[in-house]
């Protein structure tokens, strides 16, 4: 991690920095066009990777977050130069020094909690410090939001869109506004720490009797609009946990539970935590059994009944490999235009890729190359879709499903997912509890 003293703030400063970044000091921009401009953009990136990463690190906020989201798709839609930047950005985290960040913590919280000055994690919108409550000795995690990131969202997104368009980084001829609108909405939500705590508590309530999962307790008295204090859980992330520590049986159980959680979210509760980043989960042994510790409810989305119903039909058409039904649904849901010709083979490929684990019997998730194949296919599929009046949720559901595949792969578990999906053939199994 790299310490920084200040985040670039102010509308003009951020816009300027972004433009400079994207266009290699913006030289000759107006005289350039087409391929020439794209080449310039690439050259600028190539010569300045480290500088760009550094500047993005200083900007934090939307720019970094969108960068991280794009990097998911970087293999397929972004030029290798941009990918280079995003890869380096991912590997580095910048954190704001204590003197600055502590200003955002309420005085009474600082009074009652001893806080370690170096953070345990730093992300795009905030950073997390470890602390101890003086009176009780309880260990806590304190998530602190950066100043100004909320205010900067709208403008950052606007500038980012402009740059990506100018640089012709985005696929041609697509109306991307709905996607940017959706990303903007999500960023606004992720900076709403009050809402995050409500969603955190919602999941805690929903899962309170289920020992396969644990949601850390929130210390509401120490929180405010920019600070969330939760019970610190001393457990590793999946990445830090060597698979050899877990028996195949443990891994299979964890995998099943991970998959089942998604099914419950989408089909039972209609509430989805849409950020499947593996850093949002810890694994701990509790009373002899492994359980998932769920962190970070910033990107939790409620889906309306109608959307839930549509996804049910769509996902089961995929699971049961019903190509005709799948395509029919894509038309009905206006993902595709009725009169448009579309790439049937591509959708067939997508369907057979995603449905592979459901072909029957135990599936070896560790050996699966579906995540990579899906990431290659997804942008092509997105290009085919009519996204003028779309269910934009697809961006997030797609990301979530991709994320689940990644986690199961990393877990190297083996199980038949039909064992779980069979329980959700009927929508809303909520009432049989
Ligand atoms: N209650 C907690 N116990 C232990 N570690 C935590 C806790 N909360 C957060 N962390 C650590 O901080 C990281 C970032 O927290 P998260 O809530 O995901 O923040 P962000 O919204 O910035 O992604 C997590 O990946 C985890 O390592
Ligand atoms: Mg997180």
Using the mean position of ligand 2's atoms as its centre, give its distance from the Cα of residue 93 in Å.
Answer: 13
Q: What atom in ligand 1 is closest to the CA of residue 126?
A: 22
pLDDT of residue 284: 95
CA-nearest residue, atom 25 of ligand 1: 279
Q: Give the number of whichever ligand sits closest to the CA of residue 128.
A: 1
The best mutation among 143, 197, 240 to test binding of ligand 1, ranked by most ligand atoms within 8 Å of the C-beta, falls on 143
pLDDT, tens only, 80-137: 666 666 666 666 678 889 999 999 999 999 999 999 999 999 877 889 999 999 999 9
pLDDT, tens only, 256-303: 999 999 999 999 999 999 888 888 999 999 999 999 999 999 989 898
Residue 190 CB coordination number (10 Å): 26
Calpha distance 390→393 (Å, rounded): 8
Q: What atom in ligand 1 is closest to the CA of residue 123?
A: 22
Most confident range, picked from 185-199, 219-233, 311-325: 219-233
pLDDT exceeding 70 applies to what percent of the chain?
72
pLDDT of residue 24: 46
What DSSP line would sit under 24-92, residue for residue?
TTTTTTTT--HHHHHHHHHHHHHHTHHHHHHHHHHH-HHHHHHHHHHHHTHHHHS-HHHHHHHHHHHH-
Using the mean position of ligand 2's atoms as its centre, give its distance from the Cα of residue 277 in Å.
Answer: 7
Q: Is it the case that residue 142 has pLDDT exceeding 80?
A: yes
pLDDT of residue 417: 96
**Residue with token string 């995003």:** 86
The best mutation among 295, 297, 300, 403 to test binding of ligand 1, ranked by most ligand atoms within 8 Å of the C-beta, falls on 295
- Pocket of ligand 1 from Cβ distances under 6 Å: 120-121, 123, 125-126, 128, 141, 143, 216, 230-233, 279-280, 295-296, 298
Q: What atom in ligand 1 is closest to the CA of residue 295?
A: 17
Cα distances (angstroms) measured from residue 353 to each of 162, 225, 249, 345, 399? 34, 43, 26, 12, 16
Q: Is it the case that residue 242 has pLDDT exceeding 60?
A: yes
pLDDT, tens only, 14-49: 666 666 655 543 333 334 445 555 566 566 656 666
- Average of pLDDT values for 384-401? 66
pLDDT exceeding 90 applies to what percent of the chain?
40
Average pLDDT, the chain: 81
The best mutation among 128, 144, 230 to test binding of ligand 1, ranked by most ligand atoms within 8 Å of the C-beta, falls on 128
Calpha distance 389→195 (Å, rounded): 27
Does the predicted model carry a pTM greater than 0.75? Answer: yes
CA-nearest residue, atom 16 of ligand 1: 296
Q: Is it the case that residue 248 has pLDDT exceeding 90?
A: yes
pLDDT of residue 292: 98
């Amino acid at each position: 991690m790299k310490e920084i003293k200040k985040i670039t703030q102010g509308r003009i400063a951020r816009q300027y920095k972004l433009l400079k970044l994207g266009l290699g000091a913006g030289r000759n921009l107006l005289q350039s066009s087409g391929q020439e401009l794209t080449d310039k953009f690439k050259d600028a990136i190539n010569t300045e990777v480290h500088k760009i990463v550094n500047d993005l690190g200083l900007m934090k906020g939307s720019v970094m977050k969108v960068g991280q989201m794009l990097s998911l798709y970087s293999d397929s839609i972004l030029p290798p130069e941009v990918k280079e930047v995003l890869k380096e950005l991912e590997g580095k985290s910048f954190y704001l020094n204590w003197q600055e960040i502590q200003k955002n913590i309420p005085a009474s919280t600082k009074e009652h909690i001893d806080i370690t000055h170096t953070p345990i994690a730093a992300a795009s919108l905030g950073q997390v410090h470890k602390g101890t409550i003086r009176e009780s000795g309880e260990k806590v995690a304190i998530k602190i939001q950066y100043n100004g990131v909320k205010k900067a969202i709208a403008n950052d997104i606007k500038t980012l869109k402009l740059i990506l368009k100018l640089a012709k980084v985005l696929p041609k001829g697509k109306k991307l506004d709905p996607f940017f609108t959706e990303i903007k909405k999500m960023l606004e939500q992720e900076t709403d720490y009050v809402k995050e705590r409500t969603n955190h508590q919602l999941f805690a309530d929903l899962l309170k009797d289920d020992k396969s999962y644990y949601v850390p307790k929130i210390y509401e008295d120490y929180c405010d609009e920019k600070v969330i204090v939760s019970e610190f859980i001393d457990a590793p992330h999946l990445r830090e946990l060597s698979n050899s520590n877990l028996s195949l049986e443990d891994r299979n159980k964890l995998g099943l539970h991970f998959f089942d959680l998604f099914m419950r979210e989408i089909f039972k509760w209609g509430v989805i935590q849409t950020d499947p980043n593996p850093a949002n989960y810890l694994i701990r042994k509790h009373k002899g059994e492994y359980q998932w510790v769920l962190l970070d409810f910033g990107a939790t989305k409620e889906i309306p009944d109608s959307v839930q119903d549509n996804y049910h039909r769509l996902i089961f058409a995929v699971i049961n490999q019903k190509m005709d039904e799948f395509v029919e649904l894509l038309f009905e849901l206006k993902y595709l235009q009725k009169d448009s010709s579309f790439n049937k083979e591509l959708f067939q490929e997508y369907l057979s890729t995603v449905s592979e684990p459901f072909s029957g019997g135990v599936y070896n998730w560790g050996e699966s190359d579906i995540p990579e194949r899906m990431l290659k296919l997804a942008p092509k599929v997105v290009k085919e879709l009519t996204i003028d009046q779309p269910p934009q949720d697809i961006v997030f559901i797609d990301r979530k499903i991709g994320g689940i595949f990644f986690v199961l792969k990393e877990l190297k578990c083996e199980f038949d997912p039909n064992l779980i999906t069979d329980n959700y053939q009927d929508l809303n199994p909520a009432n049989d509890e």
